Structure 1
């Protein structure tokens, strides 16, 4: 990696609607910014615009909550229809308290509310689900744009306050970098160092994207370098046998 990184938000991206050609919109955004793909460029793309383009917005009026959703809604104070969507996207509920449900998502993420959101959706009374397959979404965008792609979302952390950007899909780059066996600054062999590379990229891009009304869902990260083979974001998930807290 070079000593200097640049992070550039693609300018003037229009609001994304279901069925939009997101790859074309991003390519046009890069052209407006005078950016053409270079080796080891990464485009970080917010999950919300991917989900919108893929039609993952669900009107709550169309949802009929189950008895289990109603019970959990009463416990947490959430809309039973929203809880039904959360349960439908989840393998199990890990923890619940008022206004919060932590689940194991069908994709393996342990996260709040199955990643379902109602902010910046653009349609009143709708909820936005994660992409069906964010790895495939990243691969399609990567092939279309000719550069590596990381699809980002904002996660809370069990031991720390605040949300931070993480990778839920990746293509064209190694999501993990295994540094074990390499020397440190003083020649000592690294024994446990594995870097969540795609997560670091997502977190850096999040500083530019923002979390509110900024309207910057795509950020080009330039100045990176890697030699490891491409690896999907799923490699970032800790398997059950390694998880001391679940």
Structure 2
């Protein structure tokens, strides 16, 4: 039977923090059962906070492009827009898609995310994605094995909106231990399994304020892989 359960009582995380070790210790303290083959979904934001991927907007000077987009979307701070542009690695804005009040961005790893995965934090700070979400996923898996003695697959998730719909969904931005695609050998089609799992975990993890940054998916048969990375699931 497929089950999804969330880890409660995770404290506020700030850098410096050995997040994988901290999560493993909370799992032990809470008697949160995980077994070999389970899929652990971890919110990217808690990883970013632990890795100190925080930018003081006071240090950001918006370019003319950021100011132009700000005039189109006044609710978006021009400095935050500049951080979004910076995350794409292209100052010209060619990797942005602006539609209405929505900003989408192509990242260097070829993922397309709302606001390039950038969140507005408290006190004029911006929170960006972990530098290497696949590496973060592997570190969590390895640490859980070292401390808890179980080998799990790990998906780093992030909230992502759509220009045509209200609200947000969860998608995979990093993975380790599983093939992110599930192939149908009969007709050659593929499902983005890691996104389906991230979305399913979102039923438990919720959005901002829920304070359930980790969910365990148990009971799914899937193809394990130590080599599959995020770049392998994008066009």
Give the SS at the match of 1:17: coil
Contiguous gaps of at least 5 residues in structure 2? 146-151
Q: Please list the CA deviations of residues 33-63 of structure 1 after superposition, one character each: whole Å capped at 9, or x if unmatched.
A: 3235422111100010001111111111111
Q: Is the 8 A contact 2:160 2:170 kept in 1?
A: yes
Contiguous gaps of at least 5 residues in structure 1? 181-189, 239-246
1:95-244 map, 5 Å: 95-118=97-120, 121=121, 123-146=122-145, 147-157=152-162, 160-180=165-185, 190-230=186-226, 231-238=228-235
Distance apart, 1:160 and its partner CA = 4.9
**Residue 83 (structure 2) aligns with:** 85
RMSD: 1.8
Give the SS at the match of 1:221: strand
Inter-partner Cα distance in structure 2 for 1:160 and 1:96: 15
1:38 paired residue among 35, 38, 41: 35
Whose Rg is larger?
1
Q: Is the 8 A contact 1:47 1:151 kept in 2?
A: yes
Q: Across the two proteins, how many residue pairs are aligned to each other?
A: 223
TM-score, normalised by the number of residues in structure 1 = 0.84
TM-score, normalised by the number of residues in structure 2 = 0.87
**Residue 244 (structure 1) aligns with:** none
